[in-house]
Amino acid sequence: MLCAAALTDLTALFGARLSTANAVLQQHAQGESHIKASAPWAVVFPETTEEVARLGALSARYGFPLIGWGAGTSLEGQALATQGGVTVDFTRMDRVLSVSPEDMLCVVQPGITRERLNEELRATGLFFPVDPGANASIGGMAATRASGTAAVRYGTMRNNVLGLEVVLADGGVIRTGTSAPKSAAGYDLTALMVGSEGTLGLITELTLRLTGQPEAVSSATCAFPSITEAVDCVIATIQTGIPMARIEFLDEMTVAACNAFSGTQLPLRAHLLVEFHGSPAGVAEQAERFGEIAAQFGSEAFQWASAREDRSRLWKMRHDAYRAILASRPGCTALVTDLCVPISALAEAVEETRADIAASPLPGPILGHVGDGNFHAILLINEGDATESEAAKALATRMAERALRLGGTITGEHGIGFGKRQLMAAEHGAAWQVMGTVKLALDPDNRMNPGKLVPSL
């Protein structure tokens, strides 16, 4: 717990923006998955980098941990206080600080969500393309190196963050990167911080690369006789070089859940959801070429959506898929897996995963951003059922081992937190210890989001 002197100094710094109320603490003890932890000792709501820096100095003086919090949408427990401490809720640091249309970049505070950022950018003709589905905060997306439905064309947070302002463990403030398109000046500290999950510092400002809003957009859904044909179609499409903006996969169980939850009427078969961006002529050509490839794999029931409202309805259905799957088994919780493999191994990974789930006692709908080899199985568990929970964990471990065997990774976008920390040695070997060495160099007292990502210190 916080000592009296620490609580006095925190109150002097934050006033009413410090809370120890049980309701607020419990709100910050749960993300969007089955993973839970004890509540933090206190929650603070900073408004400036200076306040965060002073908080870092107080943490160094009194020895309490600091845990960053954005929108609370993480899936591997990244924002949970596993060892107590103070949660730093960035929702009040949510401004767009500047936009440079000529340079196609903007500078934002970490608490702004991706949806609100794009609303504020709409008049500029630009948008921020990383779309993880949830309306996550930009700072949280950078901390977890998020990606999502549009990564196949626009890349992940790693590709779209040019620079950062970061408060370190001792309260010092550094800036990484620049507004220039590239640099060869020393270590890439921006890349180091993106994906560090708050274990090296707290992000207080981000310089982001923006993209021009496409002149034309067309989306479609198409059904396939089986998962195999749908996945093989994805592989063929990517290898052909068609510049897909999005290409998403839903299996039959996911389609059924989405139909029930969102009121859609898709045939109960494996589906691809695709989207093309570009000029009207370019989009038409891309759609035609994709249609020819899909036909070779037995596609049917094409439904095109070019009007904005129709496209929005289609992608809202996809973004609501997680909630739809949860609703398909009332009273359940979910263990969400997250594998990424080379595109050549995608069909094998999906088929083996499907067979593994079928042999288990659990339902596990499969969906994902398969254009970049990333897919998820949503393993549904009855709340409080220890047997099902253990079965789900065993399934998830086998899926991670399968991804590594096929040359992939244990997580393509959800990150590590403490939910997948036990799998890091299998993926990285001795390099995981090097990560721990970097952590010790920047945070020797292990106060920045302890218990996550790196080996035990």
Tens of pLDDT, residue by residue over 321-339, are 999 999 999 989 899 999 9
- pLDDT-derived band at 195 (thresholds 50, 70, 90) equals very high
Specify the amino acid at residue 90: F
Please tell me the distance from the alpha carbon of residue 38 to that of residue 28, in angstroms, as a whole number. Answer: 9
Taking the model in full, what pTM does it have?
0.94
Share of the chain above pLDDT 90, in %: 88
pLDDT digits 0-9 by tens, 124-150: 999 999 999 889 999 999 999 999 889
Quote the number of domains for the chain: 4
Q: Are residues 338 and 313 in the same domain?
A: no
- Which of the 8 DSSP states describes residue 74? -
Q: Are residues 190 and 113 in the same domain?
A: yes
Q: Which helix (H) or strand (E) holds 287?
A: helix 280-296
pLDDT score at 210: 98
Phi, psi of 258, deg, nearest 5: -65, -40
Share of the chain above pLDDT 70, in %: 100
Question: Above 90 in pLDDT, residue 34?
Answer: no
pLDDT score at 308: 85
Domain boundary, last residue among 184, 212, 240: 212
Question: Above 90 in pLDDT, residue 32?
Answer: no
Phi, psi of 139, deg, nearest 5: -65, -40
| Closest of 437, 374, 343, 321 to residue 156, by C-alpha | 374
Asked whether the beta carbons of 110 and 204 are under 8 A apart, the reply is yes
Question: Above 90 in pLDDT, residue 68?
Answer: yes
Beta bridge partners of 100: 105
**For the packed helices 227-240 and 346-358, what is the interaxial angle rounded to 10 degrees?**
160
Residue 448 lies in a domain: no
Residue 48 lies in a domain: yes
pLDDT digits 0-9 by tens, 264-308: 999 999 999 999 999 999 999 999 999 999 999 999 888 888 788
Q: Are residues 284 and 347 in the same domain?
A: no
Query: What CATH number did the domain enclosing 226 receive?
Result: 3.30.70.3450
Query: What CATH number did the domain enclosing 371 receive?
Result: 3.30.70
Q: Are residues 256 and 196 in the same domain?
A: no
Q: Are residues 259 and 234 in the same domain?
A: yes
Question: Above 90 in pLDDT, residue 192?
Answer: yes
Q: Are residues 17 and 35 in the same domain?
A: yes
pLDDT score at 383: 83
Question: Above 90 in pLDDT, residue 253?
Answer: yes
Q: Are residues 353 and 388 in the same domain?
A: yes
Please tell me the distance from the alpha carbon of residue 176 to that of residue 384, in angstroms, as a whole number. Answer: 45
pLDDT score at 133: 84
Q: Are residues 361 and 380 in the same domain?
A: yes
3-state class (DSSP) for residue 165: strand
Residue 382 lies in a domain: yes
Question: Above 90 in pLDDT, residue 49?
Answer: yes
Domain boundary, last residue among 274, 300, 323: 323
| Closest of 144, 38, 170 to residue 445, by C-alpha | 170
Q: How many CA atoms lie within 13 A of 427 on its CB side?
A: 28
Residue 380 lies in a domain: yes
Q: Are residues 55 and 125 in the same domain?
A: no
Domain residue limits at 388: 330-405
pLDDT digits 0-9 by tens, 349-358: 999 999 999 9
pLDDT digits 0-9 by tens, 233-250: 999 999 999 999 999 999
Residue 442 lies in a domain: no
Query: What CATH number did the domain enclosing 34 receive?
Result: 3.30.43.10
Please tell me the distance from the alpha carbon of residue 170 to that of residue 244, in angstroms, as a whole number. Answer: 45
From the number of C-beta atoms within 10 Å of its C-beta (0-12, 13-18, 19+), residue 429 rates as exposed
Specify the amino acid at residue 231: V
Domain boundary, last residue among 40, 71, 89: 89
Q: What is the dihedral of CA 128, 132, 137, 141, to 10 degrees?
A: -90
Integer CA distances (angstroms), 156 to 152, 258, 322, 350, 443, in order: 9, 26, 21, 22, 27
Query: What CATH number did the domain enclosing 132 receive?
Result: 3.30.465.10
> For all residues of the chain together, what is the average pLDDT?
95
pLDDT score at 262: 93
> Among 32-41, 144-153, 239-248, 257-266, which stretch is predicted with the lowest mean pLDDT?
32-41
